[in-house]
């Protein structure tokens, strides 16, 4: 049973820093960037931009502490939250009661239509890792969502084929705005120091979607629902909760209408799952095991801590290794003890209809992954391709036996300690193939990202930014920890440069490709002395906007 906090009184709207549109106004952009929308974004920045900067400073401080030998622990100052057995989160809103299979993908018109026709229970409409944040994609994605929610979306391909939403029952939309660390350079505001600053991408994505669609979603029997990415602390969750409360009051809808599902995809957040649920409890539907970004976060935080924290080939870091088992089992136990949904990780396979044998093997792996998740108590899972939905749903149906979820299943058998979350022992070598694969997939993904593609088919997998982040961070760590491959080859900058040359030589080049720029980005984020926190920050500021 939910124990809601009393909503604050309706706020007095103050004149905040005016946002200025610096990007070009293309066809129909004025339908999204309305005066009302800009006024709302201005208010969000006036109230929350400074706190966002404070939370990002906290991240840097925490990362410095871990890098200097202070392992994360379950917090003493919030023990009272964990020890209080009575509180619960708000739980599922209308249309979120059944989340057995969720499809993820970007918000361009074609992918929006494909997702809505997919037969999934939920669509994660992704403005974050699966979207390259060109100005056209950011505002175009908002237009796709607006049109889809109103039943007005169609798309005609350059070849003249028309796509429309034909499904009688479409998935519930859960939109994922960009994380707190990201900026939107096509909108600027004056910060507390008087400087002109790029807007917060989180507040822009959330604000535009919420203002334009919240009431239409409520009228349709659903609601404004969000996936929250890259959180690292309960204080960051509290910031989102305050954003939600203010926004509900701003447009006059009941407190708690918004529902958020938080991705636990950073190491610090794994130690604060209950606290995150608590801070968002009036608006929270559940947690998701964002496994690829979680692996990236561990590498990022422990990149300089010695050989014990070096992971082998990316393909060997599976969901059955000790630290990943501890993380996912703790997530299920935490969620169900508080009435929250636990949503499993991504299956990114792309079935190859021209190769039945390869497709059968891929579906076998997907089935095994989803069978494990369902047996562990997850209430649903993610897939990246519509053809995976029947396989994933069959595994959950077998366990759920007619129930829409497993919230009644408590995992009292789980007892995860801090050291379990940090048990990185895998016992496998780094291979020359693993190193080359990392260089290859990272450069190919970055190249597509620079051309405006955020979800990219590479080697029969649908990849997003998380794959490139793991790949480049492993290369950086292997170099700085003086690692060698299984055949004795030292992993050095020179060795990686040779692999970069091979990848570029084998690439299918065409007019307008961005392989040379992608290689430069990769060098900066994997071969430099310093470790950039996110490759997308560097790529966005130096490369993406120049050609947008």
Q: Encode 263-298: b = buried (16+ Cβ within 10 Å), e = exposed.
A: bbbbbbbbbbbbbbbbbbbbbbbbbbbbbbbbbbbb
Distance, in Å, from the CA atom of 102 to the CA atom of 345, rounded to the nearest integer, reads 10
What does the buried/exposed string (b/e) look like for 336-364 if buried means 16 or more CB atoms within 10 Å of the residue's CB? bbbbbbbbbbbbbbbbeeeeeeebeebbe
Residue 534: how many other CB atoms lie within 10 Å = 17
The residue length of the chain stands at 548
Q: Which residue has the tokens 């076998």?
A: 364
User: Is 464 annotated as catalytic?
Assistant: yes
Q: Are 161 and 36 in contact (CB under 8 A)?
A: no
Three-class DSSP labels, 257-319: CCEEEEEECCHHHHCCHHHHHHHCCCCEEEEEECHHHHHHHHHHHHCCCCHHHCCCCHHHCCC
Cα distance between the two ends of the chain: 49
Distances (CA, A) of 179 to 30, 83, 201, 234, 510: 25, 30, 7, 15, 33
Strand ranges (DSSP E) for 312-401? 341-347, 380-383
399 in Cβ contact with 363 (< 8 Å): no
Given the residues 147, 282, 464, 548, the one annotated as active site: 464
Residue tagged active-site, from 176, 281, 338, 514:
176
Q: Please give the DSSP secondary-structure letter assigned to residue 178.
A: P
Closest CA to 335 of 88, 96, 138: 88
- Give dist(CA 502, CA 492) in Å, integer: 16
What region does 177 belong to: left with phi over 0, alpha with psi -120 to 50, or beta? Answer: beta
Answer yes or no: are the C-beta atoms of 144 and 153 closer than 8 Å: yes
Select from 211, 255, 279, 218 the least CA-distant residue to 44: 211
Token pair, residue 143, equals 């237009």
Of 15, 30, 44, which is closest to residue 184 (Cα–Cα)?
Answer: 44
Say whether 259 is catalytic: no
Which of 322, 530, 519, 348 minimizes the C-alpha distance to 440? Answer: 519
- The CA distance from 392 to 442, in Å, is 28
CB 191 within 8 A of CB 141: no
Q: How far is Cα 380 from Cα 121, in angstroms, rounded to an integer?
A: 9
Question: Beta strand pairing status for 122-126 and 456-458?
Answer: unpaired
B/e letters for 22-35, b = 16+ CB within 10 Å, e = fewer, are ebeeeeebeebbee
Active site residues: 176, 464
């Amino acid at each position: 049973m939910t124990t809601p906090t009393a909503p604050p009184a309706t706020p007095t709207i103050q004149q905040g820093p005016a946002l200025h549109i610096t990007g070009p106004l293309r066809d129909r952009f004025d339908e999204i960037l309305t005066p009302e929308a800009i006024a709302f974004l201005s208010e969000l920045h006036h109230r929350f931009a400074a706190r966002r900067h404070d939370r990002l400073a906290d991240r840097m401080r925490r990362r410095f502490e871990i890098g200097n030998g202070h392992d994360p622990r379950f917090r003493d100052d919030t023990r009272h939250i964990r020890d209080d057995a009575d509180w619960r989160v708000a739980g599922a809103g209308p249309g979120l009661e059944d989340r057995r299979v969720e499809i993820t993908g970007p918000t361009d018109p074609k992918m929006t239509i494909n997702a809505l026709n997919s037969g999934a229970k939920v669509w994660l409409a992704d403005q974050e890792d699966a979207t390259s944040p060109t100005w056209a994609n950011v505002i175009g994605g908002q237009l796709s969502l607006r049109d889809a929610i109103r039943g007005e979306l169609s798309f005609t391909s350059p070849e003249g084929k028309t796509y429309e939403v034909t499904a009688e029952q479409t998935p519930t939309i859960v939109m994922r705005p960009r994380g707190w660390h990201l900026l939107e350079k096509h909108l600027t505001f004056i910060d507390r120091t008087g400087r002109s600053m790029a807007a917060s991408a989180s507040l822009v994505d959330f604000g535009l979607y919420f203002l334009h669609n919240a009431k239409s979603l409520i009228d349709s029997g659903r609601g404004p629902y969000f996936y929250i990415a890259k959180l690292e602390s309960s204080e960051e969750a509290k910031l989102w909760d305050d954003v939600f409360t203010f926004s509900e009051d701003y447009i006059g809808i009941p407190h708690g209408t918004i529902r958020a599902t938080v991705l636990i995809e950073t190491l610090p957040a794994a130690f604060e799952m209950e606290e995150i649920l608590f801070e968002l409890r009036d608006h929270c539907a559940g947690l998701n095991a964002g496994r690829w970004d979680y692996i990236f976060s561990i590498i990022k935080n422990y990149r300089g801590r010695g050989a014990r924290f070096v992971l082998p080939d990316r393909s060997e870091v599976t969901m059955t290794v000790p630290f990943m088992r501890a993380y996912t089992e703790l997530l299920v136990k935490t969620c169900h003890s508080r009435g929250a949904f636990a949503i499993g990780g991504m299956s990114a396979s792309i079935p190859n209809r021209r190769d039945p044998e390869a497709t059968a093997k891929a579906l076998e792996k997907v089935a095994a992954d989803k069978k494990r998740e369902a047996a562990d108590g997850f209430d649903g899972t993610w897939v990246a391709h519509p053809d995976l939905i029947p396989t994933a749903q069959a595994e959950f149906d077998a366990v759920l036996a007619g129930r829409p979820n497993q919230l009644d299943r408590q995992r009292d058998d789980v007892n995860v300690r801090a050291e379990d979350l940090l048990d990185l022992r895998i016992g496998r070598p780094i291979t020359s193939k693993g190193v080359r694969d990392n260089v290859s997939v990272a450069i190919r993904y970055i190249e597509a990202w620079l051309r405006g593609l955020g979800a990219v088919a590479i080697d029969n997998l649908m990849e997003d930014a998380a794959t490139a982040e793991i790949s480049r961070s492993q290369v950086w760590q292997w170099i700085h920890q003086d690692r060698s491959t299984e055949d004795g080859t030292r992993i050095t900058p020179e060795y990686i440069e040779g692999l970069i040359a091979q990848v570029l030589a084998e690439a299918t080049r065409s007019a307008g490709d961005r392989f040379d720029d992608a290689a430069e980005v990769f060098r900066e984020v994997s071969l430099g002395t310093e470790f950039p926190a996110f490759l997308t920050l560097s790529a966005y500021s130096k490369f993406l906007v120049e050609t947008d």
